[in-house]
A and B are shown apart, each in its own frame.
Chain A
């Protein structure tokens, strides 16, 4: 069998080596999983291969031919048949699927989209990834946007398809569909590199697994794949057993009460970045951060829900069924109808800042779109608008630094330098910053956590879950909104399901145990129940 990729790569960011001669060998026509902890260098490795990031050293051979790493860029990689679907999507929001597909690969000066659109549609149908070529990329649900990117890559003749954490944004049913498609593609001769941290996915589709730890290749495992061995290789040690929090008594005080909460029509989405934002970055020397465009909104109707002190309540549902609107309404980021009470205090009319001050901790669903100021340091992000840490006016810099060092230690954030830019961190470490800032607020009575472990690896998931449980054990009510059913089943005392902006069902206690719990909730999520 021929080698599709033979890579030994080194990459430094600043003085930090994120890849030290990391080795990856992928056989043609196989599904190869690349796994590893946060900051292990998985994304960097595949981005170098795809020509998005430039290597500092090493060698790379594609299909047996050595390439010149100094000149290796996206255009050359595309010509060599390498397609990539990135973690946060790379579509230009206001363009249609077909326009995105031809972006950067335009033929002549005149653009005739119709034949490409037809070809995309046909190709999508053929490989089992139906798409609408004329839909606007930012109006598509994440799953559909991702399908469109895969089909576009195949359309460009990708012989090697790289997917960076593709399932992080998908519902369970969609995950199964995607994995099946990957198998089919591999049978048809396409080589697949799947970057992931979910070992059940690895077990389901991968032929071979390469484990990366701290920028080095720890090992490559072939069939039969042993999940326990791979997990040990990833973490470098055994994982601590998860803790659990006893369900609160029935008479525990209600800390969060939603009474007929509704959000009408489209959200006044995130204020668009100033048209001159680029100017600011050009002259201050900061890097431009292009946040993904917000998605279409679902109106929220008549949501009533209570969370008691010490209780972990889950909100399940396929992405885009009103979960984001619900979180924004509770956090006071959108105007809403109905009542929101926090510890008995009516906060329906309070601003976002006032709600946080009243005892809300809010972990937003997207750390790149509301969670973090990517250009600011870890310390500044941890202290962002935290007057209890910074002081009211003049910033107590020693205290900010001490606070940052404490949080970095307690959540094992890497790198450990409080002055490191948040943008330079891996997704899991970025998420830990958000978690640390929100859960360390004084007098937290309610924790609202949206997709708290999305795109985050095993070790970090355990730490984040422990933090959420600890918040509940300390007497806060915790509302976890997640598309990951396993996460909710592992964490929550009670789970409600949202579908098309409404709560359509609830399961608690014994009904959350066993295999039927999963399928029962799955049926509710898809409207089959």
Chain B
């Protein structure tokens, strides 16, 4: 993979270039413009970091679960629940709550809500044999629906799709990057990457969850409770996805908003797979995906912005193909 990943990225750039030719743009010019416009502007770099923050957390939510053999595509639900809980707690706190209290409380609320959804998916899988993909899809729909109904019935303010603001103490400081949305939740994401790396590589928890993913039968024979690991890992994964709410709510919008963070849970799957399930890889993949999605908007005057979405799909296909190709070469 170390050899094939660059090949895959070059291949997807080539496909992207062909698509640009199809829409009548000059690929070299578009790519160069994308790089210079994004990296040349503090604001755009900040936007990349903002996107990457959310993606790294939802990406970890997928990679950690897949480490344990579970395909967590419920990132949307876990993030949605995190956003809802975070905003709700953030507005319910007394107006003068100091940051030292408000920030941890809102962060915990986000993680707990996401973790509850993840844990429920894990429980249904481990104890009731309900496939996590099916239940994840259902939870994605349920959470989206609940947030929308609750929002429009009780939370959104007269005629808008925005709820009341959270207390000022719960706001995470922005990073000084040209007025972009980049904020201190970035450090939460970096800490999460480090924590997952450490748990996975250096603790008995990581040993147990990797063993369950690689061979549940061997894990069971060695005395590991597979069901317990599955539930705990899914709860942890859900908590990671829920934590992304800190960036969206506490760092950026400071309120519940319809459609906030939407799509980040699903794009996290791409980040996890592109990062090859390694926490550091997921972090790097998030930056790359953040760059592509911000870059696509930045060159919106040259190519249609849908091209970015096509490109994300092509990247995933190329990486998947490269992985299979390399495995065959190794066999």
Beta-carbon contacts of B217-250 to A below 8 Å, as 1s and 0s?
1111111111000000000000000000000000
Q: How many residues of A contact B (CB 8 A)?
A: 49
A-B contact list, 28 entries, CB within 8 Å: A271-B217, A271-B220, A273-B69, A274-B216, A276-B70, A276-B133, A277-B213, A283-B323, A284-B66, A285-B276, A291-B217, A331-B221, A352-B220, A354-B223, A364-B221, A370-B217, A370-B220, A371-B221, A373-B214, A373-B215, A375-B214, A375-B215, A376-B211, A380-B207, A384-B207, A391-B204, A393-B203, A395-B207
How many A-B Cβ pairs are below 8 Å? 130
Shortest distance between the CB of B228 and any CB in chain A (Å): 10
Tell me if B327 counts as interface (CB < 8 A to partner A): yes
A351 CB-CB contact with B under 8 Å: yes
A392 to B203, CA, bound (A): 8
Contact assessment for A384 and B222 in the assembled complex, using a CB-CB cutoff below 8 Å: yes
CA distance A380 to B70 in the complex (A): 21
Give 16 A-B pairs besides A273-B216, A282-B324, A283-B320 with Cβ atoms closer than 8 angstroms.
A270-B217, A274-B71, A283-B66, A283-B319, A284-B276, A284-B277, A285-B327, A286-B214, A287-B330, A351-B223, A356-B223, A364-B221, A372-B218, A384-B219, A394-B202, A395-B202
In the complex, the chain A residue whose C-beta lies closest to that of B71 is: A276
Residues from 349 to 389 in A contacting B, C-beta threshold 8 Å: 351-357, 362, 364, 369-376, 380, 383-385, 387
Contact with B along A261-277 (1 / 0, CB 8 A): 00000000011011111
Q: How far is the CA of A391 from the CA of B206 in the complex (A)?
A: 13
Is the CB–CB distance between B221 and A352 below 8 Å?
yes
Across-interface contacts of A353 in B (CB, < 8 A): 223-225
A288: nearest residue on chain B (CB-CB)?
B327
Residue from A274, A276, A354, A373 within 8 A of B219 (CB atoms) = A373
B23 at the interface (CB under 8 A from A): no
Q: Which of A357, A384, A390 has the most CB of B within 10 A?
A: A384
| In contact, B221 and A357 (Cβ under 8 angstroms) | no
Interface centre among B1, B67, B215, B331 (most CB of A within 10 A): B215
Question: When A270-B216, A286-B214 are in contact, do A279 and B221 touch as well, CB less than 8 Å?
Answer: no
Inter-chain contact B218/A277, CB cutoff 8 Å: no
> A333 on the interface (CB 8 Å rule)?
yes
Q: Taking CB as reference atom, which chain A residue is nearest B129?
A: A271
Q: Which of B126-181 contact A (CB under 8 A)?
A: 131, 133
Inside 8 A of B225's CB, which chain A residues have their CB?
A: 351, 353
Chain A residue, CB-CB nearest to B201: A395
A289 at the interface (CB under 8 A from B): yes
The residues of A that contact B85 with a CB separation of less than 8 Å are: none
Chain B residue at minimal CB-CB distance from A392: B204
Which A3-50 residues have a C-beta within 8 angstroms of B?
none
CB distance from B322 to the nearest CB of A (A): 10
B306 at the interface (CB under 8 A from A): no
Residue pair A387, B211 in contact (C-beta under 8 Å): no
CB distance from B231 to the nearest CB of A (A): 14
Contact, CB under 8 Å: A385 / B277? no
| A397-427 to B contact mask, C-beta < 8 Å, 1/0 | 1000000000000000000000000000000
A443 interface hit (Cβ, 8 Å): no
Say which residue of A276, A374, A397 sits within 8 Å of B215 (CB atoms). Answer: A374
Given A331-B221, A373-B218, A393-B205, do A276 and B66 touch, yes or no (CB 8 Å)?
Answer: yes
The 4 A-B pairs of least Cβ separation, nearest first, read A353-B223, A276-B71, A385-B222, A370-B221
Q: CB distance A384 to B218 under 8 Å?
A: yes
CA distance A183 to B151 in the complex (A): 80
Task: Please give, as numbers and ranges, the residues of chain A lying within 8 Å of B193 by CB-CB distance.
Answer: none
Min CB gap A369→B, angstroms: 6
- Whole-angstrom distance between the Cβ of B272 and the nearest chain A Cβ: 8
Known: A282-B324, A283-B320, A385-B207. A333 touches B69 (CB 8 A): no
Contact in complex: A362, B69 (CB < 8 Å): no
Q: Which residues on the B side are within 8 Å of A284 (C-beta)?
A: 66, 276-278
B223 near A352: Cβ-Cβ < 8 Å: yes
Map CB proximity to B onto A78-92 as digits: 1 under 8 Å, 0 otherwise.
Answer: 000000000000000
Give chain B interface residues in 278-331, CB to chain A under 8 Å: 278, 319-320, 323-324, 326-327, 330-331
Q: How far is the CB of A274 from chain B (nearest CB, A)?
A: 4
